[in-house]
Amino acid sequence: MKVPSNFASRRSSKGRIIIASCLLASVVMGGAEADSTTARITPEAIVRYLMQDMFISPGVGFQKVQIGQTFTQVAESWGNPNRADRPTETGYVVWEYDAGDSKIRVAGGSKVTSIKVIGTLNSPFTSSEGASFGMTPQQVITIYGSPSDSNNLAKIRYPNRGIEFGFEHGALKWMSVFSPKS
Query: What are the tens digits of pLDDT across the range 108-153?
Result: 998 999 999 999 999 999 999 999 999 999 999 999 999 987 678 8
Mean pLDDT of the chain: 79
Residue 5 lies in a domain: no
Q: Which of 28-32, 109-113, 171-175 has the lowest mean pLDDT?
A: 28-32
Question: What is the pLDDT, as a whole number, of residue 181?
Answer: 87
- Are the C-beta atoms of 160 and 181 separated by less than 8 Å? yes
Are 45 and 62 within one domain? no
What's the predicted TM-score (pTM) here? 0.72
Contacts (Cβ under 8 Å, ≥6 apart) of 144: 129, 131, 156, 158, 161, 163
Region 57-64: mean pLDDT is 95
Which residues span the domain enclosing 170? Answer: 55-178
Are 80 and 153 within one domain? yes
In which band, very low, low, confident or very high, does the pLDDT at 38 lie, cut at 50, 70 and 90? low
Are 172 and 154 within one domain? yes
- For the chain, give the percent of residues with pLDDT over 70: 70
Task: With a cut of 60, say whether residue 18 has pLDDT above it.
Answer: no
Residue 6 lies in a domain: no
Sheet with strand 93-98: strands edge to edge: 83-85, 93-98, 102-108, 112-119, 171-178, 163-168, 155-158
Question: What is the pLDDT, as a whole number, of residue 43?
Answer: 62
